[in-house]
Chains A and B, each alone.
Chain A
């Protein structure tokens, strides 16, 4: 007892010295070198349930694309070396761990690693949390996947934050429009969503769009199992007894594949047509476990829905050569974000080989129109900070001979047809009957 009391008096001093030493070594050790390279922080899921279906293809796409850019292999207009002649250096960070941790890591990327731009974020919560920090730090930030409609409602006067992916409402408006074309006589609609923000919002947007576009169709069942549940026996039974014509689901990743597998085995997908807004990401894995004619989307003109242009052919070839599988939609989206960034940086009017300041990149990015693996992208919403593109849906088709899945009966809807105009929320626009929509 005596002994420990004595050391009690001594050890806080030791603590003080250790703490001071720690702080000093940290602040001295990490002055990122200004090496003349264009440093991009890539943030995506490298662990957890979203890593397999989304994070890995995205990270792979970034690697393939950056390697190609650094060698100047891309077709025009992206044939300039790296970004504006400066070699690209990638710092990759795991998105797992929640929004508070991502805010911390975002600050580390910008202030410690001195990246010139950050490209990333799949989770909507992360995007919402990062946006104000990016504006505060004046850090050029491109969101490549998150779909929340709240983003530019919270970040009202964006300056440094851009999103090259589409608002999630577009997925569901597009899905309803596709159904109105291919299944106009459908009467009974059921839904199964993961019970969290993504699932709740998707179902809300979809049911309201259906009320407008297919007023005769009635919602007969809505199931909301918890996210990553994996077993959907009870939900499938509940849906089966209502005999729906259409089953809408915004499931993604492993959950979606599990649902397709289980529902198909129980014959549910024979009687009803499933509409999977994120279905494209598993197109290479369904094989014959999914019925032909199942409607799948790729959250925009990405992955299997991407057009056959020179840029996409280059990207697909390189991606397949490196990873033995075709790029799915998250991969296309990552490529799109980096290409958008490159386009903006090279139009920022600085001399070749120099890295433009974030503000200069942002000015050039605002309202830009650039070519991407998904066709032409217009930054036409949220005062030029949000991409507007069309969306396509199609039917899954499996070819037993080549053992490859593909999409058929693809219908693409123009951006003006499915994107709410500025100044109105997606839900208001849907409820008002899509005023001003220009559809083909």
Chain B
């Protein structure tokens, strides 16, 4: 397997980021961990955006990933991080394989609404399950990795290094996926679905596979979120959470695999400082940020890097 230049740079940034974790203040390490976990879910949203589908229900798989991790720890006494995350991804893939059969028959607003509906069904079910703490949710048990237990206070940093490694791997895979024929096909479907069919391809099965893959990636993010925050609640499947993922996806743009990561980190930084500086109206700062991006960078933050913005202005 030969790595392209972009992939090498992605891996290089990941190594730098992981090394930076050892000198950065602990709150920043934690903030970045949460941002990267969110970025994984956003990757799932972006994967579907590239195929022309906007999902307002990616929180469904985020939540399934998180709850699968939390419940496996509580009821099955599994503490191994790798096993927990695999269970989360597995659960989401199974669900997506089922829902995908229905979802791939819809496009545009119908797809968006149906995805929203499914995540709200999960929310409703969780709110009514008092055994799972209803809206209060429950705390996730501490994790181990292949028999190694992180020392007290070291878990956030260890998890940061793990999530950076996973993100780097994911970025390389998604980068390859977006340039593969399947990835290209998604873009073709967005542009002209009928034509893709005339080429002898089945758009529905391409979208199905894309949907399941996006669910897996999002569930991984949910699993990491559960492990880092140490608590899960039904809010993960709530439409506002899903909306936040779309917000971050728009912030970054769909042009490059790194965009959701950058956008998620920027979102987390803007939000935490907005909360600190204007506690009573921090939502307004976030709103203005998105407005500014839409007005000045319609293709998202990534257009800053491609120079499209400059050319558009000239």
CA distance A124 to B137 in the complex (A): 9
Judged by DSSP, the binding face of B is helix
B267 CB to closest chain A CB, in angstroms?
12
Whether a CB of chain B sits under 8 angstroms from the CB of A217 is no
A55 CB to closest chain B CB, in angstroms?
10
Whether a CB of chain A sits under 8 angstroms from the CB of B291 is no
> Within A1-39, which residues are at the interface with B (CB < 8 Å)?
4, 7-9, 11-16, 18-20, 22-23, 26-27, 30
Whether a CB of chain A sits under 8 angstroms from the CB of B118 is no
Whether a CB of chain A sits under 8 angstroms from the CB of B201 is no
B17–A11 touching, CB < 8 Å: no
Contacts known (A11-B305, A11-B306, A27-B23); A16 close to B139, Cβ less than 8 A: no
B265–A111 touching, CB < 8 Å: no
Contacts known (A16-B12, A46-B280, A93-B275); A125 close to B229, Cβ less than 8 A: no
Whether a CB of chain B sits under 8 angstroms from the CB of A103 is yes
Whether a CB of chain B sits under 8 angstroms from the CB of A92 is yes
CA distance A308 to B24 in the complex (A): 51
Whether a CB of chain B sits under 8 angstroms from the CB of A360 is no
> Within A152-210, which residues are at the interface with B (CB < 8 Å)?
154, 195-198, 200-201
From the candidates B34, B137, B152, B276, name the one contacting A136 in the complex (CB within 8 A). Answer: B152
Whether a CB of chain A sits under 8 angstroms from the CB of B134 is yes
Whether a CB of chain B sits under 8 angstroms from the CB of A376 is no
CA distance A18 to B13 in the complex (A): 11
Whether a CB of chain A sits under 8 angstroms from the CB of B279 is yes
A436 CB to closest chain B CB, in angstroms?
27
Contacts known (A8-B256, A94-B280); A23 close to B24, Cβ less than 8 A: yes
Which of A79-87, A127-135, A238-246, A253-261 contacts the other chain? Answer: A127-135
**What range describes how many residues of B lie at the interface?**
35 or more
Contacts known (A93-B276, A111-B26, A129-B231); A9 close to B135, Cβ less than 8 A: no
Q: Quick one: closest A residue to B38, CB to CB?
A: A100
Q: Quick one: closest A residue to B26, CB to CB?
A: A111
> Within B53-81, which residues are at the interface with A (CB < 8 Å)?
none
Whether a CB of chain B sits under 8 angstroms from the CB of A99 is yes
Q: Which residues in A have their C-beta under 8 angstroms from that of B262?
A: 15, 18-19
Whether a CB of chain B sits under 8 angstroms from the CB of A363 is no
Q: Which residues in A have their C-beta under 8 angstroms from that of B137?
A: 99, 125, 128-129
From the candidates A12, A47, A197, name the one contacting B133 in the complex (CB within 8 A). Answer: A197
A128–B305 touching, CB < 8 Å: no
B279–A46 touching, CB < 8 Å: yes
Contacts known (A16-B16, A108-B31); A7 close to B307, Cβ less than 8 A: yes
Beyond A27-B23, A47-B283, A100-B232, 12 additional pairs, beta carbon < 8 A: A8-B6, A11-B302, A26-B269, A27-B28, A30-B25, A104-B34, A125-B135, A125-B235, A132-B230, A196-B135, A197-B136, A200-B130
Query: What residues make up the interface of B, taking CB atoms closer than 8 Å to A?
Result: 5-6, 9-10, 12-13, 16-17, 20, 23-28, 30-31, 34, 127-128, 130, 133-139, 152-153, 225, 229-233, 235-236, 241, 256, 258, 262, 265, 268-269, 272, 275-276, 279-283, 302, 305-307
The 5 lowest CB-CB distance pairs between A and B, nearest first, are: A129-B231, A11-B305, A197-B134, A12-B9, A111-B27
